[in-house]
Amino acid sequence: MSRPPETAGSAGAPGPPAPTGPRPADSPVSRGIERHLVLRAQDGDTTAFEQLISRYQGRLFRTAYMILGNRQDSEDAVQEALILAWKRLHLLREPEAFHGWLLRICTNEATSAVRRRSRHRTDPHDSESLEALDSQAGDTRTRPTGGPASDPARSSEVNAQIQALAEVLSTIRPELSIVWVLREVETMSYEEIAQTLNITASTVRGRLARARSAVIKRMKEWT
């Protein structure tokens, strides 16, 4: 692998849609296709890697946004994650684990960005970025016709909810907010989260309980 493939820039980054719809790798056929693409990409096929990116880039951005609350930071985290994934893809021994492996890289990048930003803290949440994101084409897997993208009033409501959640999540410890996002937004199982974050399922349950308690407390304070 001599160079990473081209990845979509900010103009193509979809906004953080509502957490609905199945994950792209849920069906047996899709999992088989993904395994084939991973094996091809590990042989240096950049087109196969670009196809893998197209399956998950929107979901990676949404997860990063819920952690970081800022469009530019989220795009940067996703781009860094994709470049790192390309460089390390040959180390992935189980092609079926690609989604969790990629998500782990992305959450690590987002967490690192949170820590860097906390050293010179500014307000990262900008409603203008959400409005700009809403005007772009969304991920067709998670924004069906007749859904939020086609209803301006509903879309504004969803964006407001996402922004509020991102602000709440920014007030709790990153290791808690990440578990909350993976469970409540990505709807991952405890076992999947444990594998993604390289922690035990019992640790996931403990962090999730603390995260839920903190989120409820912050939301009550703000209402």
Cα 147 → chain centroid: 20
Q: What is the pLDDT of residue 170?
A: 80
Both tokens assigned to 162: 């996402």
4 three-class SS: coil
CA distances (Å), origin 147, targets 138, 153, 182:
11, 11, 22
- Ramachandran sector of residue 116 (left: φ over 0; alpha: ψ -120 to 50; beta: rest): alpha
- How does DSSP assign 81-141, residue by residue? HHHHHHHHGGG---GGGHHHHHHHHHHHHHHHHHHHHHTT------HHHHHHHHTS---TT
| pLDDT per residue of the chain (223 residues) written in tens, 0 to 9 | 555 555 544 444 444 444 444 455 567 778 889 999 999 999 999 999 999 999 999 889 988 988 888 889 999 999 999 999 999 999 999 999 998 899 889 988 988 887 787 665 554 455 444 444 443 334 433 343 344 444 555 556 556 666 777 788 888 888 898 899 989 888 889 998 998 888 999 999 999 999 999 888 887 776 5
Could you give the CA distance from residue 163 to residue 127 in angstroms, rounded to a whole number? 7
For the entire predicted model, the pTM comes to 0.67
Q: What is the pLDDT of residue 117?
A: 74
Q: What is the pLDDT of residue 1?
A: 53
- Residue matched to tokens 């399956």: 55
Could you give the CA distance from residue 160 to residue 196 in angstroms, rounded to a whole number? 28
Q: What is the pLDDT of residue 219?
A: 76
Q: What is the pLDDT of residue 84?
A: 97
Q: What is the pLDDT of residue 17?
A: 41
| Contact by Cβ (8 Å): 134, 15 | yes
Q: What is the pLDDT of residue 141?
A: 38
Both tokens assigned to 110: 């987002």
